[in-house]
Structure 1
């Protein structure tokens, strides 16, 4: 169990303003991966922030080119204490989404940390600079106290997570020896809610789907041609409803997971979603029937319409449009086969009378998770429950997508995610913020897990070192 001294030092680092001041420096780098200016800032962030931070931890630091020209470089820090000690792989991303500076409230600057009570506003404060700073701080505290970590450390930072992690899987496959570890432990995404420390074990996958009904170049008067010409907007509406009905239920069996395993149902039995103040209330009768809200969010698939349009909806004219388009997204759990999704959707639409709808898959992110009953999740849960008095949520995966498959499937190791944010943090939107109490508690929880790896006890022995429980 974490010593009282380390716990006090962790809490004091936040209470004294040290964490806030360090985060302010990190936020000041406008590391947008989608812009040329941002990529310059990313290089400076690697050189001026992360390399010194990793060097301070006794790491040898190397920068690696991305095998995908669409992505930026990777930074790897390695600290080897002994060949007979376990190795932990940690991860973070240096990039952020667009700052959207003109849209922030009260004149806030996305590149300047603004404190308003417990809310610390700034782009990247929650996603992901504040989160990887929590872990760096926890490691520093342990090293200062013990003079060692007690395990070997590899830290991987990518620079393109916000644009889909181009090249990450290829880089990992090509550098298996460099990144080999007994356990992956990182922080990204949100907790279940602001008050509940959370451990999640993977992520749902994402599949972008575009439907296009392009029937003619011109629009034709609805009075003269209505009832004679096929309306692409009406066709598209029918096509969408044949895929997902008006109550959010997926109508294509091949887009559903094969089952909801008993262990996943059990893990989610006491999980309550949308429990933070200001959260919208889940709608009754929406989504897959017979499932709880937690099961629908973390254990099942959803097909959402993200955009739908024909002509100009704000200034319609009395004419049948020539074209209509829709953008959908399938969020899917591990075990769902999406390799032939485009072909299956097109076949389903043709069978239901919509052969004129063109189907395109516009992007995909793989789903993956570590076994919820595996030894490492059980080990981590016991430690976190002891540290918090039992108030811990363990989720099989988050509802969104992260490159978890790179670590579980490509590198073949169990993955634990300990998030230091919450669903209402407004990541990717104006007014992104980190909650100070979560950062304060997060350093303690991260230090608890790291310290238990380096200094196991009879009450909390390490699981058998290996990778057999990742899938």
Structure 2
């Protein structure tokens, strides 16, 4: 417990804030040319010294995909007889899509009460700093970790992790481990420590009813020319009804596993002050809200357009387009999504609607009954001030499939953010109490790895 008190004191003293301020100052935007230089500086000036300070041998690797940035790997081997932990983080952040509030700058860490504002505070610099700090505290206290450590940093997570799959496949020996423990994404809510085991995937679907190059007067041609906007509205309604219920079986997972249902039993969503009120009657009412969010698929319309709604004219538009997104869980036939939509629309008389689909992160999860899961949950419950929520996966996307499917690892995600952190938006922030509790939980979890049962080893 003395070590956990040191973890609390490290945040309370201001030391964690001061170090995070240095990290935030690097504008490591992965989708901007000027951000690439900042990323390289961040790897060399921040992460490499942090890993060497943990006794790691550090190597930088070129990305097999030219669209992505380099990878940084640190390796510390204490004994081949010990378990091996793989940690993960991403050095890049998103760019600025809007204006921050007065007095706030994305590249300057600013405290306002319990909120620490700055780009990357929640996604992902604050989170991987918790991991690095917990490891550093453990090493300083014991003089050893009690396990072998591998740490992988990527630099393109915010642009879809290009090349990560290929790099992991090429470097399986370098990245081999017994378990992944990483921090990204949000907790269930600000007050609830959370462990999640994977991520939903995402498929972006574009529907395009491009029927003619010109618009035609609605009085002269209405009723005899097909309206692409009306057609597109009908096509969308045949995929997902007006109450958010998916209508095509090929867009759904085969089942909600009993283990997932049991894990989500009692999980309540949308309880943080400022969260939007959940809409009654929206989505599949056979499922509880937590089951809909974390255990099932949703089809959302992200953008929809035809003509100019601000200045409409009396003409039938020639084209209408919509962008939808399928958020899906493990078990979904993601490769069959586009064919299923095309077949369904053709059967409904909408063969004139063109369908394209692009997948981002693939859905994946570690089984709830994996022994690493019960070990981690019991370890965290022993030190947390309230029960730890166990989510089979969180609602967003992460490259978890790289670790489960390519490297064959059990994956444990211990997030140190919350749904209202405004990641990817102006005024992104980390909550000081979450950082404090997160450092305690991470320190306790890492401290227990060395004494984990040998049966957990691969």
Q: Normalising by the residue count of structure 1, what TM-score does the alignment of the two structures yield?
A: 0.96
Measure the CA separation in 1 of the matches of 2:20 and 2:212.
54
Measure the CA separation in 2 of the matches of 1:49 and 1:99.
22
CA displacement at 1:224 relative to structure 2: 1.0
Give deviations 1:367-407, integer Å, cap 9, x for gaps. 10001111001001101111114421000000111000000
1:393 and 2:389 correspond? yes
Task: Please tell me whether the aligned partners of residues 387 and 445 of structure 1 are also in contact (alpha carbons under 8 angstroms).
Answer: yes
Map of 1:145-224 to 2, 5 A cutoff? Answer: 145-224=141-220
- Taking structure 1 as reference, are residues 163 and 224 closer, same or farther at Cα in structure 2, changes over 3 Å only? same
For 2:17, the equivalent position in structure 1 comes to 20
From 346, 350, 353, the equivalent of 2:342 is: 346
Measure the CA separation in 1 of the matches of 2:96 and 2:7.
30
1:86 and 2:78 correspond? no
Give deviations 1:149-198, integer Å, cap 9, x for gaps. 00000000000000000000000000000000000000000000000000
From 45, 54, 62, the equivalent of 2:42 is: 45
How large is the Cα RMSD of the aligned pairs? 0.9
Give deviations 1:425-466, integer Å, cap 9, x for gaps. 00000000000000001111001110000244xxxx454212
Give deviations 1:128-155, integer Å, cap 9, x for gaps. 0000000000000000000000000000
For 1:236, the equivalent position in structure 2 comes to 232
1:63 and 2:65 correspond? no
Measure the CA separation in 2 of the matches of 1:77 and 1:336.
35
Give deviations 1:67-118, integer Å, cap 9, x for gaps. 0010000000000100111100000000000134x51012311000111000
CA displacement at 1:362 relative to structure 2: 2.7
1:412 and 2:408 correspond? yes
1:357 and 2:349 correspond? no
Measure the CA separation in 2 of the matches of 1:17 and 1:235.
59
SS in 2 for 1:140: helix
Measure the CA separation in 2 of the matches of 1:164 and 1:300.
22
CA displacement at 1:282 relative to structure 2: 1.2
Measure the CA separation in 1 of the matches of 2:279 and 2:16.
39
Count how many residue pairs are aligned between Structure 1 and Structure 2. Answer: 458
For 1:139, the equivalent position in structure 2 comes to 135
Task: Please tell me whether the aligned partners of residues 379 and 463 of structure 1 are also in contact (alpha carbons under 8 angstroms).
Answer: no
Structure 1: give runs of 5+ residues left out of the alignment: 467-471
Measure the CA separation in 2 of the matches of 1:115 and 1:280.
25
For 2:425, the equivalent position in structure 1 comes to 429
Task: Please tell me whether the aligned partners of residues 376 and 463 of structure 1 are also in contact (alpha carbons under 8 angstroms).
Answer: no
SS in 2 for 1:327: strand
Measure the CA separation in 1 of the matches of 2:328 and 2:251.
8
Task: Please tell me whether the aligned partners of residues 250 and 336 of structure 2 are also in contact (alpha carbons under 8 angstroms).
Answer: no
CA displacement at 1:311 relative to structure 2: 1.3
1:448 and 2:441 correspond? no
From 69, 72, 76, the equivalent of 1:75 is: 72
Map of 1:362-377 to 2, 5 A cutoff? Answer: 362-377=358-373
CA displacement at 1:283 relative to structure 2: 0.8
Map of 1:282-301 to 2, 5 A cutoff? Answer: 282-301=278-297
